[in-house]
Structure 1
Amino acid sequence: MAGAATPLLLRQQHSFVTVNRFFSASLPSLTQTKSSNTLLSFSSKEDQVLVVVGGGAAGIYGAIHAKTLGPHLTVLIFDKGRNPLSKVKISGGGRCNVTNGHCADNMILAENYPRGHKELRGSFFNLHSPVDTMAWFTSHGVELKTEDDGRVFPVSNSSSSVIDCLMSEVKQRGVFMQTKKIVKTASVTNSGKFLLEVQKQPADHAEHVEADYLLIATGSSQQGYTLASQLGHSIVDPVPSLFTFKIEDLHLKELSGVTFPKVKVRLKLEIVQRNIPQLTQVGPMLVTHWGLSGPVILRLSAWGARYLFGSAYKGRLIVDFVPDVHVGSLKSILSNHKQKFAKQKVLNSCPPEFGLTKRFWSYVLERQGISGDILWASISNISLMSIGSVLKECVYEVNGKGQFKDEFVTAGGVPLSEISLNTMESKICPRLFFAGEILNVDGVTGGFNFQNAWSGGFIAGTTIGALALESCQSSK
């Protein structure tokens, strides 16, 4: 090595093995220097370089497909963390909810994306659908299963199956991976290449890398927003999505762990005066020690993410605990039950048509000030109406948000209007690509956020691979 400030160039005569040894062996020695002027050049006249920023699902999936289609392309992944695919590891309670298998119609599939539901109706899922995702993982040795609610998991019930599959492909395809590296700056040189400043963590010096293609797939990390801004893109301010509701109700806390297979919830916010259909959702709900959770709440939080942010996460939640029972039928059910079970205590005899647990039935009576020890014969019509109102329109004051333990998803990022969804290439900066959550796309819970990552990574990767292959063939 001539000196720390001397550019290191891989000449045309170096073989692929030399590149491999250079990247895996020489970089650690470089990190011991203190120079900020080290230039790492991996390209020659024939070879081209793709740098992927972000070692998550979208970035790694994109890198694999770029290298598969363009085998002469040098592909480098820089990830700021110690372990790539960290979000894959914890998703689905450690099982990894790969995708959703109940949305064969792409129009219906797109409706699961609060940000992106209009734009994703086009070519995006046609180019790489959940069926394609499942086929790819299955063909690469990951056996999958689709559960009743549509969520797709590895048969092993372990996210390690997905991680091992992807990392095995990275190794077999010859994709280079560097962890604990942050790409701090990105600019375009006079020759049209990307010049990237890469900093090792903890920061001790910077290296510079030139690339022909750049794929930013950094999720909701500020790193990606900064790079996108440096290259001319605007950013929709990110706010949290997919979270639980905090509700101060001492009696509700006592129901922690109680689940409801189907409820209807409506969110009322002062800043929202018009009717927004998506702020009403139907599905399973879970009572927690801090409030309410479950798929229906998470979907509501996703659709209401920006409104809730603007409301400081305060609003009113109206819950219908018996959505399949009409209001008129409700009164008849209660009246008939009163006559049929007149001599039974109210607490010990809940109308079976409601499908409620005894714990929740006790909560309803207590909330309305009705003693569970009185007989059904003694209940007044006013009390019956009171019970009915709680079951159909139970009002809770939302006074904050919790974090969904398995995922952290944001609404915001690079606007979809600034990229071409059929290639994932920037409309502002040629040969710049995006995939995954860095875009202003987010899905509801159920495997939809990962599907966005797989689809975007595939489209970006195959586009880059095709461009590199075309360039290679034209230079011969």
Structure 2
Amino acid sequence: MPQWPWLHPASAAARRATPSVFRRRRCSSVCASAHSNHAREQEDEKSLVVVGGGAAGVYASIRAKTLAPHLNVVVIEKGKFLSKVRISGGGRCNVTNGHHLEPSGLARNYPRGHKELRGSFFNTHGPRDTMRWFSDHGVELKTEDDGRVFPVTDNSASVVDCLLNEARRLGVSLQAGKSVSSASVNNDGKFVLKVEKRTVDFVDYLNANYVLVATGSSQQGYSFAAQHGHTVIPPVPSLFTFKIADKRLADLSGVTFTKVKAKLMLDSIQKKAPELTQTGPLLVTHWGLSGPVVLRLSAWGARELYQDKYQAKLMIDFIPDIHIEDVKRIIFQHKDKHAKNKVNNSFPTEFGLVKRFWRFLLEQESLDGDMHWATVPKNHLNAIALRLKQWMFEVVGKGQFKDEFVTAGGVPLSEISLSTMESKQQPNLFFAGEVLNVDGVTGGFNFQNAWTGGYIAGTSIGTLASSSNLERHACLQLEAS
């Protein structure tokens, strides 16, 4: 495991020299009467700093502020808010998945996390809850045939604007272009975060009662976690395309297969792994193979592919719904029926193959497309049938899946209480989203993890802050009496 750089706590002198935001004191069990009620209210206001302005962070800030309106909430984002939301789904934003609504079935779509998430996690806030929330806030959604859920506008701006406008309406402070460079816990148990601005020489210190780390795959979040006693599973890429050794595939660039069965074979996995066999659409690109079936395989085999330096074998069944013997029968019947036709111009339509792929298939068997079906040897026809059912490709590398970078790795779920998203190592420290060792296959599952984790964390923080506020009011009433 790489040694993540430790963050150094800000010195007391630096804190005294710099104006501090959210510097508060908790009301003791015996209420002091030296200050006015108003001053004590100001000092005792609770504060939350969310590190990371992605889906999980913004959703959590909204939830916490909704439950605890008095809570001071600041979201710190080093780049642009909701940047992944903007580009996801080709700019349409794949909000969630509408075909996997039950927690147990939904959890099976997470290569890292499928065991842990089978419990109450998605029961607390699942896809139905996500869709209802966006609908209630003015974003009409639609579910496509493959289960992916998008705004009816087919524009991610609908989702982004909804979230940011709701956060601003509630009074959440959204601060972009800043990053948390160090953090510590003072003697009062409060967090002291050093905040820097990227473009100018700017340093500020925020004191917070609660911190939520929702930094995605940024090292900033891993460093924060390590400083506060967490281990970090080294992140590796997930959700990527396969580079294939056969350069002739470039001739098929753009060809789509609506349904293939693909099996990934890795040297580091000798035992049978059901998840490494997937069925779904396949796309041929100028560098290799892509599409949902490949992306799912890349997610389930992410760590092993990294270990094997992205060298693997990929066996594809191009017509999984037709048995091999039936494939042979169809080909031989076609030969008899079209004996006088050229093999290039006549091929079995039962397979649903495009002409470009059929010609490519003939080339692999060194068959001249101008020859007639009657002259094709039986062994070549058997070889074509076998290739259609068991075509082996050599994976020699990976490609990046557009800009939607997903990683496998992060803070282990065993170090987090999934019922609250609170750290088991540091009280009042919470995590949500991809900073944790959770990642889903393509289809809206990574965003659902962000919505659920953010909702749970925001609920926990908002509830804690509200309880604390009630205690403070009780304390003030006792003093007044």
Question: Would the TM-score normalized by the shorter structure come out above 0.5?
Answer: yes
1:220 aligns with 2:217: yes
SS in 2 for 1:272: coil
Residue of structure 1 in register with 2:65 after alignment: 67
Residue of structure 2 in register with 1:37 after alignment: none
| Amino acid across the alignment from 2:102 | D
Residue of structure 2 in register with 1:78 after alignment: 76
How far off is 1:175 after superposition?
0.3
CA–CA distance in structure 1, aligned partners of residues 347 and 437 of structure 2: 47
The one-character-per-residue Cα deviations of 1:190-221 (angstroms, maximum 9, x if unpaired) are 11111111111136243221100000000000
SS in 2 for 1:371: coil
Matched-pair contact (CA < 8 Å) for 2:255–2:283: yes
What does 1:307-318 correspond to in 2, within 5 Å? 307-318=304-315
1:335 aligns with 2:332: yes
The one-character-per-residue Cα deviations of 1:409-463 (angstroms, maximum 9, x if unpaired) are 0000000000011111111111110000000000000100000000000000011
Residue of structure 2 in register with 1:302 after alignment: 299
Aligned partner of 2:349 among 334, 348, 352? 352
How many residues align? The count is 445
CA–CA distance in structure 2, aligned partners of residues 292 and 282 of structure 1: 14
| Amino acid across the alignment from 2:360 | Y
Aligned partner of 1:99 among 96, 100, 106? 96
CA–CA distance in structure 2, aligned partners of residues 407 and 329 of structure 1: 41
SS in 2 for 1:475: helix
The one-character-per-residue Cα deviations of 1:285-329 (angstroms, maximum 9, x if unpaired) are 000000000000000000000010000001111111111111111
SS in 1 for 2:340: coil
Residue of structure 2 in register with 1:184 after alignment: 181
| Amino acid across the alignment from 2:313 | R
| Amino acid across the alignment from 1:318 | M
The one-character-per-residue Cα deviations of 1:326-356 (angstroms, maximum 9, x if unpaired) are 1111111111111111111111111111110
SS in 1 for 2:56: helix
CA–CA distance in structure 2, aligned partners of residues 164 and 380 of structure 1: 63
1:277 aligns with 2:274: yes
| Amino acid across the alignment from 1:63 | S
Q: Percent identity?
A: 60
Residue of structure 2 in register with 1:159 after alignment: 156
| Amino acid across the alignment from 2:69 | P
SS in 2 for 1:270: coil
Residue of structure 2 in register with 1:46 after alignment: 44
Matched-pair contact (CA < 8 Å) for 1:76–1:177: yes
| Amino acid across the alignment from 1:49 | S
Structure 1 pair 137–339 and aligned structure 2 pair: CA distance change class (3 A): same
CA–CA distance in structure 2, aligned partners of residues 79 and 413 of structure 1: 19
Structure 1 pair 452–117 and aligned structure 2 pair: CA distance change class (3 A): same
The one-character-per-residue Cα deviations of 1:219-270 (angstroms, maximum 9, x if unpaired) are 0000000001011100000000000001132321100000000001111111
| Amino acid across the alignment from 2:359 | S
Residue of structure 1 in register with 2:265 after alignment: 268
The one-character-per-residue Cα deviations of 1:15-49 (angstroms, maximum 9, x if unpaired) are xxxxxxxxxxxxxxxxxxxxxxxxxxx99443100
Structure 1: runs of 5+ lacking an equivalent: 14-41
Structure 1 pair 9–286 and aligned structure 2 pair: CA distance change class (3 A): closer
| Amino acid across the alignment from 1:226 | S
CA–CA distance in structure 1, aligned partners of residues 247 and 413 of structure 2: 44
Matched-pair contact (CA < 8 Å) for 1:78–1:177: yes
1:472 aligns with 2:469: yes
Aligned partner of 2:429 among 422, 427, 432? 432
How far off is 1:74 after superposition?
0.3
Residue of structure 1 in register with 2:389 after alignment: 392
Matched-pair contact (CA < 8 Å) for 1:43–1:49: no
Structure 1 pair 43–325 and aligned structure 2 pair: CA distance change class (3 A): farther
Matched-pair contact (CA < 8 Å) for 1:240–1:305: yes
Structure 1 pair 377–63 and aligned structure 2 pair: CA distance change class (3 A): same
Residue of structure 1 in register with 2:193 after alignment: 196
Which 4+ runs in 1 deviate beyond 3 A?
3-13, 42-45
Structure 1 pair 126–220 and aligned structure 2 pair: CA distance change class (3 A): same
SS in 2 for 1:400: strand
1:363 aligns with 2:360: yes
CA–CA distance in structure 2, aligned partners of residues 150 and 377 of structure 1: 46
CA–CA distance in structure 1, aligned partners of residues 133 and 227 of structure 2: 35
Matched-pair contact (CA < 8 Å) for 1:146–1:153: yes
How far off is 1:6 after superposition?
3.9
Matched-pair contact (CA < 8 Å) for 2:98–2:127: yes
Matched-pair contact (CA < 8 Å) for 1:315–1:399: yes
1:252 aligns with 2:249: yes
| Amino acid across the alignment from 2:457 | A
| Amino acid across the alignment from 1:148 | D
More displaced 10-residue stretch of structure 1: 295-304 or 385-394: 385-394
Residue of structure 2 in register with 1:418 after alignment: 415
CA–CA distance in structure 2, aligned partners of residues 266 and 10 of structure 1: 55
1:124 aligns with 2:135: no
Residue of structure 2 in register with 1:34 after alignment: none
SS in 1 for 2:457: helix
Residue of structure 1 in register with 2:10 after alignment: none
CA–CA distance in structure 2, aligned partners of residues 157 and 43 of structure 1: 46
SS in 1 for 2:252: coil
Matched-pair contact (CA < 8 Å) for 2:134–2:140: yes
TM-score of the pair, normalised by structure 2: 0.90
The one-character-per-residue Cα deviations of 1:88-143 (angstroms, maximum 9, x if unpaired) are 11110000000001112211111110000111101110000000000000000001
1:8 aligns with 2:19: yes
| Amino acid across the alignment from 2:274 | P
Residue of structure 1 in register with 2:105 after alignment: 108
How far off is 1:5 after superposition?
5.6
Matched-pair contact (CA < 8 Å) for 1:10–1:43: no
| Amino acid across the alignment from 2:54 | G
How far off is 1:383 after superposition?
0.5
CA–CA distance in structure 1, aligned partners of residues 347 and 22 of structure 2: 81
How far off is 1:381 after superposition?
1.2
Structure 1 pair 43–295 and aligned structure 2 pair: CA distance change class (3 A): farther
